[in-house]
A and B are shown apart, each in its own frame.
Chain A
Amino acid sequence: MTADRLPDEIKGVMENGVPVILATCSSDGIPNATIISQVYYVDPNTVAVSFQFFNKTSRNVRENPHASLCLNDLLTSNKWLLQVEYDHSETAGPIFETMDMHIEAIASATGMSGIFKLKAADIYRVKSVEKLAGN
């Protein structure tokens, strides 16, 4: 199943606390895969990704906006593949404030308080969404 906007059922997957995979590519064609703590639902066509340490990812999407996300639902074994495009970054405002609060909560819960620190909310446009059914 492939769609061009986020279905409602994906909101729960984004809030399940399971890390998310983010792949990007530099302008000279080197892919990069990283594991991030969370992706945030903004609206059916937009997600936000926390920019904390992964400078390579941040640099890549500013050179080449294409990115891919994989969301994980451990309970159903479903995985969600999103093709997205970097649009802009926010360092203040409601999206940033919400993400900052969540990241601090995740950091406290995982013993990483003081290490996880939000630098910006990177805003991505959703190009496609594919649900890969579990076994």
Chain B
Amino acid sequence: MIPGVIVEFLGRASVAVAGTRDQNLVPHIHFVSGWQVSEDSTELTCFIPAKFTDNLISSLEDNGQLALTVEQIGPHETYQFKGDYLDSRPLQEDDLSIYEDCRERFVSACLPRFGIPEDVLRRYISKPSLAVRFKVREIFVQTPGPSAGKRLVPSEGS
């Protein structure tokens, strides 16, 4: 289960990326344009643009392994969620507001840092075409610093 503080983090985070691997153990990167926590906080859904879907479903159907890294730009607070693929579906109308909220957080975070116009930053977060749902098995700290790599869920030692 995703702890409440991490659910809160997911509501303010500004960028995410997913990793899968194929049957030859070759990893693949899939840019993520939005994310959502399930009501029971055990699953995550990530929204992926069409141009980042190469090797995605074939890899997930082969082995089910997915890693999702989410960062809040600025403080560099970052967590990685590892889990098991459940299913995927085309983007629905209701998903658009989630995508737009994540995109606006990205724009707000990048504006003061990169000096790039707002509309250019907005274009950077492509509209997703696919929703991929997975059950979260582990959560790791990836914030730069001495705790990077520490497992939060299940807690280390358990």
Bound together, the chains give a CA A115 to CA B145 distance in angstroms of 6
> Measuring CB to CB, which residues of chain A are less than 8 angstroms from any residue of chain B?
17-18, 21, 23-25, 27, 29-35, 52-56, 64, 66-70, 72, 74-75, 77, 79, 81, 83, 110, 112, 115-116, 132, 134-135
- Is residue B19 within 8 Å, beta carbon to beta carbon, of the partner chain? yes
Do A25 and B31 touch (CB < 8 A)? no
Question: What are 14 A-B contacts defined by CB distance under 8 Å?
Answer: A21-B29, A24-B27, A25-B25, A29-B63, A29-B65, A30-B67, A31-B67, A32-B80, A34-B69, A35-B17, A55-B148, A68-B27, A112-B144, A135-B126
- Distance between B129 CB and nearest chain A CB, rounded to angstroms: 13
> Measuring CB to CB, which residues of chain B are less than 8 angstroms from any residue of chain A?
15, 17-21, 24-29, 31, 51-52, 63, 65-69, 71, 76, 78, 80, 82, 110, 114, 116, 120-121, 123-124, 126, 140, 142, 144-145, 148-149
- Residues of B close to A134: CB separation below 8 A: 123-124
Do B123 and A32 touch (CB < 8 A)? no
Residue of B nearest to A30 (CB): B65
Do B29 and A66 touch (CB < 8 A)? no
